[in-house]
Structure 1
Amino acid sequence: MVGDARAVLRRLQQVESAVRAAVARHRESDPQPDDPFRGLYLSDETVDAALAAGREPFSPWRTEGPSAVTRPGADADAGQPSGDRLAALAGAARLTPLDEALLLVALAPDVDSRFEQFYGYLNDDVTRRRPSVGLALRLCGLPEAAASARLRLTPGAPLIDLALLRVDSPDRPVLSRGLWVPDRVGGWLLGADAPEPLLAGLAGPAQPAGPPPPGAQPLARALDRAEARLAYLRERPGGSAVAVATAALDGAGRAALVVDLPRLAADPQPAELATVLVREALLTGAGLVVGPVQGGEPWAVWSRLIGGAVPVLAYGTQPWDPAWTAVPPLQVEVAPLTVDDRAAVWRDALPDRLAAGLDPAAATAQFVLGAPAIRRAAQVAAQLAAAEGTPIGEAHLRAGARTQNAAGLERLARRIVPEVGWDDLVLPPATLSLLRELAGRARHRDQVLRQWRMRPGGGRGHGVTALFAGDSGTGKTMSAEVVAGSLGLDLYTVNLATVVDKYVGETEKNLERIFGEAAGVNGVLLFDEADAIFGKRSEVRDAHDRYANIESAYLLQRMETFDGLAVLATNLRANLDEAFTRRLDVVVDFPVPDEAARRALWDRCLGPRVPRAADVDLDFLAAAFELAGGHIRSAAVTAGYLAAEAGRPVGMAELIGAVGREYRKLGRLTLESEFGRWLPLAVG
């Protein structure tokens, strides 16, 4: 960096020589050089001298560096000393030799305070201690009226468009406007590398981690050949556009400056801040990684970002709209990592901390994660294992993967952390087999759908959708929780009150928000009472039927493109549209439990910790009362409260009383044929 500062200082000596010559010439034409108040007023003699002498250019520079302003067409880089940051900036920003000279003239007071006095003297105004446009042109050996030279200090010229040079006092005549160099530019030219403070919290550097992800190398070649100054990386779930962009820029010999585009667009002056971003990337030799693109960014932001000075790699999840920019981007699809790629990232992130025999990729196969998310998940897993003092196990890996879920879905659905397992289910073998098949589909969908391409074309997603059909209380929600828990995922139950809307089109918008947020979450999405929104289409008799059918048609299409794991639960399977059924991967029927299942449910719901009286007769409860699992659970909990209040173990008195209460909730009669000798306890 010392060499950089010396190179700039060496070139500023030429500015000083030009200023010395200008001061000497000015003194010769000054009628009152010894007046202590000169520059604060205009005497008659000063006006007469100005009229007689005119405003001729000062002597042009004739030595290395700025001397090139007098030699049009000369190579700006020729003869530049090694390590000269100004020369590097001139090449990157396509500055002309005149641009370099103007920049040096404006920079001089920030390097040597004497220039403030010199410029005050040459401006004939001791209060104006920066070079004016007119003075700068004359110091460069050019007349003040040179149109082509004045254009280098107006919008459209690189010095101004890249904020390398500022022109103040726009209300003044052009020639008396002051020139100054922003602190970040001046400091960088002198060797300082502190980042621009205006960008704190908005942009930051990023380094590639691990091997380049798929798609990075072709993009790097396009950047290296300058074939793409603007690219748009459309990110699919499980892909990482930032990782691809960072690796591509690294392959092209550039650093990456990652920009939070929504925060930039929300700034009160987004266009000015976008200019500062481009300037920072230019100074640091970086490319801009901008996103996520949401489609509502001001046109002025894009126009400043894609001026061509630095490559811009934008990313987002939605298709690119040609109306956003006048320059068409190179469009790149960022696909999810393959199973092998994910395994390689896991191995790279966790080289020697895993429990013996554990395959991290297999343990987290159901999670759709990009490379950066995998590395963050690995860090969390390592922290959890270190806190427990154990090697990293499957539970740690899955817990770390869950921390990478976006939080937006929790505002639209209720998150349930699974606390039950396969042993807690009391279901027929055929039903259990289908539930295990559903979990297996979620675990191996990448292999079957992506590697083996078992569902090609048609814009179909890579999700898994199941229907749980059965009466209330037969275990549909609990089964969804078990499936989620077996996969290490959270369960998100959609509240229909937040979805269904009486206004036309609003229900679809609410569902789209849910599906959109679910795309960034590794979880199981449960639509309870699904027939309310996935009902049959009907014959159109009025406008209500037509809009209801439009809603169902939208849902049919959206379910087919969904990439996650969704479960539809309904008490009325016959009410579902047949087109939905065709698109379902697994249909699970939940029957009302038989006597043997009811006995197992009573025993399971009471559990091993509840004290039981000697008179508890589970065989009688299972044979006498045809209740579904949910009702049995409710009755067991009620019996527990009754026993706790009475201060004794749970006995038949509490259990029969709880069943009687459950019957009354269901609107069923308490008959002696069912309750037998326990009837008084049920009606008491």
Structure 2
Amino acid sequence: MLDDRSAVVAQPAGVAHLLARARRLETEVRRLIEHRRRNDPAPDDPFRGLYLSEAAIEHVLSEPDPVPPADRDGLRVVEAAADEDERVGGPSRLRLLARRAELTELDVELLLVALVPDLDSRFEKLYAYLNDDVTRRRATIGLALELLRIPATDGAARARLHAAAPLVRTGLLTIEEPDRPFLSRGLRIPDRVTAHLLGDDTPDEQLLELLTERRPLDGPLVGALADCLLAGEPLVYVRESAPGTGTGLVVAAATRAGRPLIGLDLTRWPPYPPTADLVTVVAREAALTGGLVLAHPIEALAAVPGALQRLSAIGLPLALVGSVHWDPSWSSLVPLIVPAGQMSAGTRTGLWRHALARTDDDGALAAWTESASGAQLVLGPDQIDRAVSAATALARFQRTPLDAGLLRRGAMAQNAAGLERLARRIEPAVGWPDLVLPPATIGQLQEVSIRARNRDRVLAHWRMRPGGGRGRGVLALFAGDSGTGKTMAAEVIAADLGLDLYTVNLATVVDKYVGETEKNLERIFAEAGGVNAVLLFDEADAVFGKRSEVRDAHDRYANIESAYLLQRMESFDGLAILSTNLRSNIDEAFTRRLDSVIDFPAPDEAARAALWHRCLAPPLPCAPDLDLDFCARSFSLSGGNIRSAAITAAYLAAGAGRPVQMSDLVSAIAQEYRKLGRLVLDREFAPYTARSTAR
């Protein structure tokens, strides 16, 4: 049995107190066994425990009820020794657990009664004897009360084993076989509790998939939140407007308050085991470690029936983080609601410096800081760490130094994949020198890029857009004929900002059923809000058209769709570009909400000449006699048509196995004219008519 020989082996701090309490319980077990044997009518019956004889029933009927009072002297001696140990080296784990879970002395005694079979296997046989059943080797409720010399009819004692009582609610004690009568239900201590009391801090295996570490993020609210945690605030909800700002705030406040953290990634919340069981595991881990439970994002659990209600009712400090407003139906507790606020450009730059400092690559840090991309990208602390790790892996793979380009690719890899199901992703491959547009148009496009770079300073710090619920987004309209460079200009702006370009596929947006178009657009805006990207609505007049006079139900619902878009565009925080071939078709209410309206003119002769030279530049092999000035002077084509004709000419030359010749170019232009529905007149192609006709 448990004796002083256990002290020969070095034990973790506090285990001696646990074993001393267990040895005291052993005395009670021996006393009860002696009592049973003296009053057992057939103690040596070999089939004892497998049936009930008449003599046994008669003995049960004649057994007196009174329970002798418990002897507290032994307990006082044990606790006095524990007091001395606590004064020297700190409290035992059993005492810490009792304080964290708000356990009474009776709760601790019940816990020990259920625990001792896991400390000494011989208690299984003793409990089987006391239960009068060889198959029941753990304590029952009735046996526990009897060992503690408490009457079975004591309502206060029985209440400590109800579902809402601390022992059961926090999962420290499991009551088995609920279909049995109350007194014959079994008591079991989960293995995680036993391991913790013996000095093992390995988290519960059911939580391993959910546990996650978060980076702290200092800010003006950290001190106030830390004070609330120290004061015992039971429920905190932090609403974050950018990824990582809410979790970073909680981590920093918990660190300042000296509270360990149990971080849960709710996106990994499994369908099995049932939510109630998993919440119990979370509560148990918080009670054992004294940690603050940080659960994020709350949206992932809001759709699971009853999950948030159960989680918020664990009775231990809990911090929830999400990007939506708090719904009072989520919990009967009233939370402390804290807005995390926006991360400033300076804070983001500091996070990039901190993450890059660990790479010991001063060149990459200097190049990234000089590019100012780190301040522009809306990434949280954890995303920045992952972006640097991804860029470092790419550098190892390519055997090249870490540079700003690789860091930008690492940052783009942190974008959520949800938007790719609703829009086409384009990785920018062009820059400002690739645009062939009038200087005034180029200046307007650069202004859009300037707006996107400096919106934190202008809108947040200088407060140039107060009130009204408007977002921090930048909205621009590109208007011009097809092929004038609108999509390419959007790609150039995305490249200048170090972002990806997502082109919205209107086929996935417009729906013939009432209300579905708005739902599709909401999904796009919601996904785009968490992505560092430029959102391009091509042929925007299809969804941003003018509202009309209501003559029938179709007009009414079309106007509702436009009204929704007006409101949603105002609250958008990203960079969105609308492109249209017919500016007059765009509703004036949309135009008022736009930050820039840029017209793309058809290219003049000089612009067409520049476009021909760009499209037929090396490495494309071209004959020296190409008359590109003739093509620019004679054919009024847009940039898109010129590029299409150049590609056709390249295919013709590749098929003939030679460089591109003027005959290939003339034939390609003739095909482009036919595509546009124009007449192909021989005099327009002179002096190359014969070559064109021959082909």
Q: In structure 1, how many angstroms separate the alpha carbons of the residues matched to 2:407 and 2:118?
A: 55
Q: In structure 1, how many angstroms separate the alpha carbons of the residues matched to 2:302 and 2:270?
A: 8
Instruction: Between 138-147 and 383-392, report the one with greater CA deviation.
Output: 383-392
Q: Does the residue aligned with 1:360 lie in a helix, a strand or coil?
A: helix
Instruction: Between 434-443 and 393-402, report the one with greater CA deviation.
Output: 393-402
Aligned to 2:53: 43
Q: In structure 2, how many angstroms separate the alpha carbons of the residues matched to 1:304 and 1:353?
A: 47
From 488, 510, 513, the equivalent of 1:478 is 488
From 285, 288, 296, the equivalent of 2:293 is 288
Sort the Cα spacing of 1:8 and 1:400 in 2 relative to 1 into closer, same or farther, 3 A.
same
Letter in 2 for 1:245: V
Shift of 1:129: 1.3
Q: State whether residues 14 and 63 of structure 1, in contact with CA within 8 Å, keep that contact through their aligned partners in structure 2.
A: no
Q: Does the residue aligned with 2:688 lie in a helix, a strand or coil?
A: helix
Q: State whether residues 80 and 87 of structure 1, in contact with CA within 8 Å, keep that contact through their aligned partners in structure 2.
A: no
Q: In structure 1, how many angstroms separate the alpha carbons of the residues matched to 2:405 and 2:57?
A: 88
Q: In structure 1, how many angstroms separate the alpha carbons of the residues matched to 2:485 and 2:221?
A: 45
Q: Does the residue aligned with 1:655 lie in a helix, a strand or coil?
A: helix
Letter in 1 for 2:112: L
From 259, 267, 270, the equivalent of 2:264 is 259
Sort the Cα spacing of 1:501 and 1:554 in 2 relative to 1 into closer, same or farther, 3 A.
same
Q: State whether residues 464 and 565 of structure 1, in contact with CA within 8 Å, keep that contact through their aligned partners in structure 2.
A: yes
Q: Determine whether 1:381 maps to 2:391.
A: yes
Q: In structure 2, how many angstroms separate the alpha carbons of the residues matched to 1:679 and 1:331?
A: 77
Q: In structure 2, how many angstroms separate the alpha carbons of the residues matched to 1:102 and 1:587?
A: 74
Q: In structure 1, how many angstroms separate the alpha carbons of the residues matched to 2:304 and 2:155?
A: 33
From 546, 550, 555, the equivalent of 2:556 is 546
From 641, 661, 665, the equivalent of 1:655 is 665
Q: Determine whether 1:672 maps to 2:682.
A: yes
Deviations 1:386-408 (A, max 9, x none): 55566543223322221221111
Q: State whether residues 60 and 140 of structure 1, in contact with CA within 8 Å, keep that contact through their aligned partners in structure 2.
A: yes
Aligned to 1:312: 318
Q: In structure 2, how many angstroms separate the alpha carbons of the residues matched to 1:66 and 1:321?
A: 50
Shift of 1:517: 0.5
1:358-507 equivalences under 5 Å are 358=367, 360=369, 362-385=372-395, 392-507=402-517
- Identity across matched positions, percent: 54
Q: In structure 2, how many angstroms separate the alpha carbons of the residues matched to 1:7 and 1:574?
A: 83
Shift of 1:45: 2.8
Instruction: Between 161-170 and 357-366, report the one with greater CA deviation.
Output: 357-366
Q: State whether residues 209 and 268 of structure 2, in contact with CA within 8 Å, keep that contact through their aligned partners in structure 1.
A: no
Instruction: Between 669-678 and 419-428, report the one with greater CA deviation.
Output: 669-678
Letter in 2 for 1:332: V
Q: In structure 2, how many angstroms separate the alpha carbons of the residues matched to 1:642 and 1:464?
A: 43
Instruction: Between 124-133 and 629-638, report the one with greater CA deviation.
Output: 124-133
Aligned to 1:106: 114
Instruction: Provide structure 1 residue ranges, at least 5 long, that are not aligned to the other structure.
Output: 69-73
1:198-347 equivalences under 5 Å are 198-204=206-212, 206=213, 208-209=215-216, 212-226=218-232, 228-237=233-242, 239-264=244-269, 266-267=271-272, 269-294=274-299, 296-298=302-304, 300-307=306-313, 309-347=315-353
1:113-192 equivalences under 5 Å are 113-192=121-200
Sort the Cα spacing of 1:519 and 1:663 in 2 relative to 1 into closer, same or farther, 3 A.
same
Shift of 1:426: 0.9
Q: State whether residues 336 and 370 of structure 1, in contact with CA within 8 Å, keep that contact through their aligned partners in structure 2.
A: no
Q: In structure 2, how many angstroms separate the alpha carbons of the residues matched to 1:407 and 1:619?
A: 46
Instruction: Between 171-180 and 510-519, report the one with greater CA deviation.
Output: 171-180
Shift of 1:298: 4.3
From 507, 529, 542, the equivalent of 1:519 is 529
Instruction: Between 659-668 and 4-13, report the one with greater CA deviation.
Output: 4-13
Aligned to 1:563: 573
Q: Does the residue aligned with 2:425 lie in a helix, a strand or coil?
A: strand
Deviations 1:159-217 (A, max 9, x none): 1111111111222211111111111111211222221111221234x3645x6344332
Sort the Cα spacing of 1:172 and 1:348 in 2 relative to 1 into closer, same or farther, 3 A.
same
Shift of 1:682: 4.3
Sort the Cα spacing of 1:64 and 1:437 in 2 relative to 1 into closer, same or farther, 3 A.
farther
Q: In structure 2, how many angstroms separate the alpha carbons of the residues matched to 1:65 and 1:90?
A: 16
Q: Does the residue aligned with 1:105 lie in a helix, a strand or coil?
A: helix
Q: Determine whether 1:600 maps to 2:614.
A: no
Would you say how many aligned residue pairs link Structure 1 and Structure 2?
675
Cα-Cα RMSD: 2.2
1:611-626 equivalences under 5 Å are 611-626=621-636
Letter in 1 for 2:354: D
Instruction: Between 651-660 and 112-121, report the one with greater CA deviation.
Output: 112-121
Q: In structure 1, how many angstroms separate the alpha carbons of the residues matched to 2:179 and 2:557?
A: 59
Q: Does the residue aligned with 1:3 lie in a helix, a strand or coil?
A: coil
Q: In structure 1, how many angstroms separate the alpha carbons of the residues matched to 2:398 and 2:52?
A: 83
Shift of 1:339: 1.8
Shift of 1:285: 1.7
Sort the Cα spacing of 1:658 and 1:326 in 2 relative to 1 into closer, same or farther, 3 A.
same
Instruction: Between 370-379 and 3-12, report the one with greater CA deviation.
Output: 370-379
Shift of 1:78: 7.0
Shift of 1:439: 1.2
Q: State whether residues 208 and 250 of structure 1, in contact with CA within 8 Å, keep that contact through their aligned partners in structure 2.
A: no
Letter in 1 for 2:165: A
Q: State whether residues 239 and 335 of structure 1, in contact with CA within 8 Å, keep that contact through their aligned partners in structure 2.
A: no
Q: In structure 2, how many angstroms separate the alpha carbons of the residues matched to 1:3 and 1:63?
A: 24
Letter in 2 for 1:346: W
Instruction: Between 144-153 and 653-662, report the one with greater CA deviation.
Output: 144-153
Task: Give the TM-score of the pair, scaled to structure 2.
Answer: 0.93
Q: State whether residues 170 and 314 of structure 2, in contact with CA within 8 Å, keep that contact through their aligned partners in structure 1.
A: no
Instruction: Provide structure 2 residue ranges, at least 5 long, that are not aligned to the other structure.
Output: 1-10
Q: In structure 2, how many angstroms separate the alpha carbons of the residues matched to 1:269 and 1:192?
A: 26
